[in-house]
Amino acid sequence: MSVRYRQPGVVLTDRRFTVPLDHSAPDGRTIELYAREVVASDKEDQDLPWLVYLQGGPGFGAPRFTGRDTAWLGRALEEYRVLLLDQRGTGASTPVNRQTLPLAGGPAAQAGHLTLFRADSIVRDCEAIRPQVTGGAPWTVLGQSFGGFCTVAYLSLAPEGLAAALITGGLPSLDAHADDVYRAAYPRIARKVAAHYARYPQDVERARRIADHLLAHDVVLPNGYRLTVEAFQSLGAVLGSGDGSHRLHHLLEDAFVRTPAGPELSDAFQEQVQARLSYAGHPLYALIHEAIYAQDERPTDWSAERVRAEFPRFDAAKALAGDEPLLFTGESVHPWTFDCDPALRPLRETADLLAARTGWTPLYDPARLAANEVPVAAAVYHDDMYVDTAHALTTARAIRGLRTWVTDEFEHDGVHVGGARVLDRLLSLVRDEA
């Protein structure tokens, strides 16, 4: 049963759908998907086309907007009904976490279960619910980041379901292994860190001091998270957003307090750090992050950890032994992530088994993409910290008819901070109005 309610300028309807866990076994176990339908209050009774939004991640539910004039939503509501889909395993859809995964069985069964939460299954979910939402008409998809990966998979698996495809910061490589992704990423991350220190040179010493403290002390945050120096470095993931450098600076500036036992990391600092590092609200991200790049016989085998060893500048102990600035890291998941985070510790064996898994199926169909007939436009953020620009442009050239907007005005979160303008530009491109 759907529930309808109102916020300023919009009418919202909660929608729930039942879909197969495994679309190749439609008579087997099912899961529930949650989505929020949004329509402008002055268009509530109009027959409008649909736009479905696929969030970045993997492992994040759709944004919980309040009212109409937030990010890109207001522009979309000028002409669409919008469906904010919580992808399988996220948000209010059937959850995947340390509490629920044991329902699938032991670690081996859990790892097999998690293979069903990649882009191909999300596309099949969309196609399963589309007839119930649109009456069978194709819809427009807006894919941000990993949602863009899902959109390219949609163009590969079920282009007949799409009226148009809009992608922001989410053109994946069609054939790169996870190792290729991280080899391209670490130099890019180093550039972002250098830019941060150029803006806030005082943070060089602050970061070194915190890292030195962590190397000498066993710090456990209030929620049970073990804050190692590697975990501290991973706070650099925030540098991929438009205001990330400023937020990192504010976090570092008051890290210590004086105590009878000497300087210690303050409660306020620890509270902020655990909020940024904990995966309690989105464990699926950590579990399948490298699996979204797996497309052949090779395992991912903790790719980010292995490849990091090829870039010794990221070694905190070596940096502190000399006079090099500490390098933060970016969007990556490591074996130690599952040791540090209490929300992930029970799933360490499951994660190891998933990292060792072979025989992954392809997510994209290059031949079908080369023959694409769906109008597609993509915003490519120059030197995007999370998605390699060279990989993105290679894929753009491989999708027939795709039009790109390459810009350095935004970081990876451009669709949120530049919302209406970004969406308007992409709509103009798919309609040949720009």
Cα 194 to Cα 201: distance, rounded to the nearest angstrom = 10
Same domain, yes or no: 75 and 194: no
Same domain, yes or no: 332 and 216: yes
Q: Determine whether 145 is an active site residue.
A: yes
Structural domain containing residue 98: 3-174+364-430
What are 230-276's pLDDT values in tens digits? 999 999 999 999 999 999 999 999 899 999 999 999 999 999 999 99
> Which residue among 355, 378, 405 closes a domain?
355
Same domain, yes or no: 293 and 371: no
The active-site residue, picked from 384, 388, 391, 416, is 384
Same domain, yes or no: 215 and 324: yes
Q: What is the pLDDT of residue 1?
A: 59
The active-site residue, picked from 145, 245, 303, 332, is 145
C-alpha of 150 from chain center? 11
Cβ neighbourhood burial of 366 (10 Å; 0-12, 13-18, 19+): middle
Cβ neighbourhood burial of 260 (10 Å; 0-12, 13-18, 19+): exposed
Q: What is the pLDDT of residue 434?
A: 79
> Which residue among 355, 374, 404 closes a domain?
355
What are 167-192's pLDDT values in tens digits? 999 999 999 999 999 999 999 999 99
Q: Determine whether 412 is an active site residue.
A: yes
CATH number at residue 62: 3.40.50.1820
Same domain, yes or no: 349 and 413: no
Cα 263 to Cα 59: distance, rounded to the nearest angstrom = 37
Q: What is the pLDDT of residue 347?
A: 98
Same domain, yes or no: 268 and 375: no
Query: How many residues does the structure list for the chain?
Result: 434
CA neighbor of 384 nearest in space, from 210, 183, 223, 242: 242
Same domain, yes or no: 182 and 165: no
Q: Determine whether 428 is an active site residue.
A: no
Q: What is the pLDDT of residue 45?
A: 94
Would you give per-residue pLDDT tens digits along the chain (434 residues)? 578 999 999 999 999 999 999 999 999 999 999 999 999 999 999 999 999 999 999 999 999 998 887 789 999 999 999 999 999 999 999 999 999 999 999 999 999 999 999 999 999 999 999 999 999 999 999 999 999 999 999 999 999 999 999 999 999 999 999 999 999 999 999 999 999 999 999 999 999 999 999 999 999 999 999 999 999 999 999 999 999 999 999 999 989 999 999 999 999 999 999 999 999 999 999 999 999 999 999 999 999 999 999 999 999 999 999 999 999 999 999 999 999 999 999 999 999 999 999 999 999 999 999 999 999 999 999 999 999 999 999 999 999 999 999 999 999 999 988 879 999 999 999 999 97
The active-site residue, picked from 22, 412, 413, 416, is 412
Same domain, yes or no: 208 and 226: yes
Q: What is the pLDDT of residue 418?
A: 86
Cα 189 to Cα 308: distance, rounded to the nearest angstrom = 11
Same domain, yes or no: 161 and 13: yes
> Which residue among 333, 355, 377 closes a domain?
355
Same domain, yes or no: 315 and 372: no
Q: What is the pLDDT of residue 71?
A: 82
CA neighbor of 326 nearest in space, from 334, 338, 318: 318
Output the pTM of the full model.
0.97
Domain count for the chain, please give it. 2
Same domain, yes or no: 99 and 217: no
Same domain, yes or no: 160 and 193: no
